[in-house]
Structure 1
Amino acid sequence: MNQNRVNELFGAAEELREKGIPLYMQVKKAILASISAGRVLGGDTLPPERDLAKYLDISRVTVRRAIDELVKEDVLTQRQGAGTFVSERVEQPLNHLRSFTEVMKARGKAITSKWLDRSLGMPHEDECKALELSPEQEVVRFYRLRYADDKPMALELATIPSNYILNPFAMEGSLYDLLEQQGCRPVRAFQRLRAISIDEQRAQLLDIPELSAVLYIERTAVTQAGTPIEFTRSWFPGDSYDFVAEIHNTI
């Protein structure tokens, strides 16, 4: 056991003997304090439960309960056969219109994608409504799994009217880069966010348990002329993102 590593988390073991507070809650509080103080960073591995229990002179059941609570809250992530990790979170502002590629590149991440669908077809009802299309107007769809540093970070399903992009295979990297090359990059967007439970198929793609809480976002973006050009539905793992927005007093 690396005692220095455990010390980073808990300091002196005597500190975990606060009267009137369940012991597992004190372990949980100590882990959270260590993360907040930056002593343990996103992606760092926690010491094994048996080592923590031995060092703190408490039962493994108590340690496991504290860790389970933090996993449920998406503070920690468990990977079978690899251990328990501090969840890596991306802080993404909601008041800037940026692509996934731009957000991740700004954080020095290596970006890759797995294509699930690139196709030309007739619009569905929700696509007609979002993009103000008639049922006879064709659209192109881009459905892909997005990775950052080889970690699944998002599922994206984007729909674009075919008069902007006729060939689905014209896009390889950033959708916004392609639209900008054609002089029709979106300049503003309306986004709707909500938490949902992920279905089995998407859970497998994102490498998370079925029914895990994820953030589902619908974005409708428009051009400088106010014409809807993009309708994107995205699924983000709940333990990977903090979405932030600046709020102003309008009074």
Structure 2
Amino acid sequence: MLGMVLAAGAGRRLRPYTDTLPKALVPVDGETTILDIALRNLAAVDLREVVVIVGYAARAVHDRRAELERRHGVKLTLVHNDKAEEWNNAYSLWCARDHFASGALLVNGDTVHPVSVERTLLDAPVTSDILLAVDDVKTLADEEMKVTLDEAGHLRRITKLMDPSEAYGEYIGATLIRPGAAERLADALKATFERDPQLYYEDGYGEMVSRGEQIAVAPIGKVDWVEVDNHDDLAKAREIACTY
């Protein structure tokens, strides 16, 4: 199984930090970046072969590759998304389809969370080929990627476009992809971005559910984490990253 980090996004709401850097390389604890925390977490659960999907300002990741490998004891493979500034991340994850065929623990490159999230996913019982980390404690609003479950506890819907009061919780940007799901996930992602290039990879999970797939969720418990979309999120990330 590989580690995988989705780090192709531009992060325009974080300018000027992202004028020349991808969002994943914005510092959150001294010189420690969001990508550093992701790689540190993956290494801590012994996932030392890591695929990083790059796009916007990809050269900055290439330039730091050797140092990131040395610092975290990992080997990085960089996959380039040639449409990172035009299309959304359903296409971005599809670009790594040949790699998640080996199985992958995927984390978003804009999420700051402790390694307990990775451990929760890896320790969960095998009930489906795809397992989503979900915060079922947080009070939700409009921006979050919300989920609802069916009677068996599997994913029913995943979207931002949902009344928060209807949601079970928030998908936090971490997924365990088992090898058996790879071909079906790749096909669902392709159908998703061909339908609308601005859709999220989470819409690919929704596509799988619509095809009759079962996708399980793993509640992460009460955890300090944040998706870094704007300067307020960045301030929170800098408060909590130093506590991990």
TM-score (norm 1): 0.23
Higher strand residue share: 1
Q: Higher relative contact order at CA 8 Å, sep ≥6: structure 1 or structure 2?
A: 2
**TM-score of the pair, normalised by structure 2:** 0.24
Instruction: Looking at secondary structure, tell me which structure has more helix per residue.
Output: 2
Q: Which structure is larger by alpha-carbon Rg, 1 or 2?
A: 1
